[in-house]
Amino acid sequence: MCGIAGLIERGGPVDRTSLVAMQNRLRHRGPDGEGLYLRGGTGLAHTRLSIIDLAGGAQPLFGQDGRLVLIANGEIYNEPGHRQRLEREGYRFATGSDCEVILPLYERFGASCVEHLRGMFAFALWDEGARKLLLGRDRMGEKPLYIYHDEHRFVFASELRALLASGVVPGDLDPRALGRFFRYQYVPEPETPFTNIRKLPAGHTLVLDADTWQVTTRRYWSMLDAPPIDGDPVEVIREALIEAVTGVLRSDVPVGLSLSGGLDSSAIAVIANRAYPGRLRAFSLGYPDAGAVDERGLARNLAQSLGIEFHDIEVDDEQMVEAFPQLAAMRDDPIADVSGYNYARIMEEARSTGTYVMLQGHGLDELCWGYSWVKQAAALSADPGLGLRRMFSRDCSARERLHLALRATARLSPGASKSRQPFRFYELTPYTGYVSQHASALFTSRFLESSGIAAATASSEYGTLTQRPDLEVTRLICDFYLLENGIAQGDRLSMAHSVEMRLPFVDHRLVEAIIGLRKSNRDDHLPPKYWLKRALEGILPNEILNRPKRGFTPPVYRWQRQLRQRYGPWLRDGYLVEHGILKPEAAARLSRDEIRANPEAIVSRMALTLEAWCRGVAAGTARIAAA
């Protein structure tokens, strides 16, 4: 696991100072070593966190004839099979690094080498003979890659802050991206908060021809392309789960896991414990006076029954409040998830014990209907009449009934499209609706116009929907919430503490198995995680399988109030008001101590997060781009 950065200059030598500045900014991603490649207009930089081949895996890595130069961030889980085959065919590896296998695969398959990799990765491969740069990113986006290019230079890095540290990348904030932040609590890729900086999307490659300066981007994978599977869902998922978890255990340093009392992390613990050759370490986190939210006792019981070393962490509210500004910067992008401090605290504890690889359970909630509102979105999109039936049900509140009636009226209006039914997704979350309904009271007219936040629609946000709503909703929750909140936040906060996070449940073969089964056997009418729970029968104890979902959730209301008490004054005279995003009266309202309505409290947290992020990451930004 590492940090990578690069600079390609058109018609001139690379500025070593800019390259080294990016490398230094990535030191937390790789404290164990560093490497540079400078030749003419090409510069590549690497920082290394040693996980596999501790002594010999330094980068850059070179092809056999020296023509190819590689820097990579991540782990290639199917490397042993490739290595054995390639060695039989005569290829001579120089190191034991799993990433070195990318070089001979490129020699054979070109840019399509990514299709032969199973793992998490973001890499840059410079082909000196062809004068081309290849960038590749894993299918589910576990490893990040930020890009800036203009007519003179092409710059990339593992983190946004490293790109800005180069000194050659402008940092004007993008109002449309900030509008999307207030819609989702993060900025969905490929956008970033800056106008000319983009992420290479998950499942994509990019080729830069350094002679013609042509940039070609290609999507090489989509979960919705998975072929239908007619097998027994229970057997298929069980086999894919075991393969995914056991496949991520290879490491030359100790491996741990984040363990709650829930289904997903418990499944990792049991399956990994059977296959891991050493003794796993489990880290569980809780809160003082948190009651049922605290699952440390459940996690401890499971760890003890499995013989796993257990580490108990208690989060102190004051430490969380104190760390808030630093946390906003650590995330790199603005991400307003209140539970972020949990991830950071667990990774900090893991690092202090010498545990440099951590397994986390992200993915199954998004893939297996773990969130009720996601299933509701699929149902409403598939059958708009469901909303009308809901209106007349006994448990429908007056507020919800009014909302459903307004939606039905809009569909029946003369100007409504009759060609297809409206697609429902994030509109079902309370804070997205709150922002839309109160946009004119929250934001300045200038920001409303430049951000498009008031005019955002499902069609403009989610693109063309080509398959069944249940499949599309699964793709969207993975492309939005899982990728930008769970995966991105986990990567930044683990790497901020020099710890590698591995996510077995976003293994692309497991994802393809679930989507393929769903194409043949719809499961959105079944109870949450129905197939998954049946697949885990005999692996997990029944008490875990039947335990109600509680999630990795902190004492939200207490934390939000404490953050407003400490940082509320930042909003009243801060960056968002000064740069014409929030109205002063809205900033004052969002900063007050007592906020009773939950949607308004969430929007307040988003504003505080963006304010802290602007101060910590975008402090040198002169203006909002469209101002």
Question: Which domain CATH number covers 59?
Answer: 3.60.20.10
475 pLDDT above the threshold of 50: yes
CB 287 within 8 A of CB 320: no
Q: What is the pLDDT of residue 407?
A: 47
CA distances (Å), 463 to each of 104, 153, 199, 448, 481, in order?
A: 37, 31, 18, 22, 16
Please indicate, yes or no, whether residues 343 and 482 belong to a single structural domain of this protein: yes
Please indicate, yes or no, whether residues 18 and 83 belong to a single structural domain of this protein: yes
Least confident range of 100-109, 177-186, 447-456, 535-544: 447-456
Q: What is the pLDDT of residue 422?
A: 64
Flag whether 386 is in a domain.
no
- 617/164 Cα distance (integer angstroms): 9
Instruction: Report, in angstroms and rounded to the nearest whole number, the Rg of the chain calculated over CA atoms.
Output: 24
292 pLDDT above the threshold of 70: no
Q: Say how many domains are in the chain.
A: 3
- Read off the pLDDT of residues 400-436 as tens digits, 9 standing for 90 and up: 455 455 445 444 444 444 344 567 888 888 788 889 8
pTM to 2 decimal places: 0.92
- 409/581 Cα distance (integer angstroms): 32
Please indicate, yes or no, whether residues 188 and 49 belong to a single structural domain of this protein: yes
Mean residue pLDDT of the chain comes to 90
390 pLDDT above the threshold of 70: no
Q: What is the pLDDT of residue 424?
A: 81
Q: What is the pLDDT of residue 421?
A: 54
> What is the span of the domain harbouring residue 183?
2-221
Nearest to residue 58, comparing CAs of 79, 77, 33? 33
291 pLDDT above the threshold of 80: no
Flag whether 133 is in a domain.
yes
- 346/348 Cα distance (integer angstroms): 5
Please indicate, yes or no, whether residues 168 and 201 belong to a single structural domain of this protein: yes
Please indicate, yes or no, whether residues 97 and 12 belong to a single structural domain of this protein: yes
Please indicate, yes or no, whether residues 245 and 340 belong to a single structural domain of this protein: yes
Could you tell me which residue, 55 or 249, shows the higher pLDDT? Answer: 249
Flag whether 396 is in a domain.
no
Q: What is the pLDDT of residue 410?
A: 44
Q: What is the pLDDT of residue 412?
A: 43
- 131/139 Cα distance (integer angstroms): 26
87 pLDDT above the threshold of 90: yes
- 6/155 Cα distance (integer angstroms): 6
Please indicate, yes or no, whether residues 513 and 579 belong to a single structural domain of this protein: no
- 421/384 Cα distance (integer angstroms): 7
Q: What is the pLDDT of residue 414?
A: 45
* Final residue in a domain of this structure, among 221, 241, 256: 221
Mean pLDDT of 366-386: 85
* CA 463 to chain CA centroid, nearest Å: 20
Mean pLDDT of 378-390: 66
Please indicate, yes or no, whether residues 16 and 164 belong to a single structural domain of this protein: yes
For residue 33, the SS3 value is: strand
Locate 288 and state its tokens: 């003082």
Confidence tier at 623 by pLDDT (50, 70, 90): low
DSSP state of 454: G
Flag whether 394 is in a domain.
no
**Structural element, H or E, at residue 126:** strand 119-127
- Read off the pLDDT of residues 56-65 as tens digits, 9 standing for 90 and up: 899 999 999 9
Q: What is the pLDDT of residue 384?
A: 56
455 pLDDT above the threshold of 90: no
Other CB atoms within 10 A of residue 526 CB: 15
- 467/464 Cα distance (integer angstroms): 9
- Read off the pLDDT of residues 529-558 as tens digits, 9 standing for 90 and up: 999 999 999 999 998 998 876 655 688 889
The 3-class SS string of 71-101 reads EEEEEECCHHHHHHHHHHCCCCCCCCCHHHH
* Final residue in a domain of this structure, among 523, 545, 567: 545
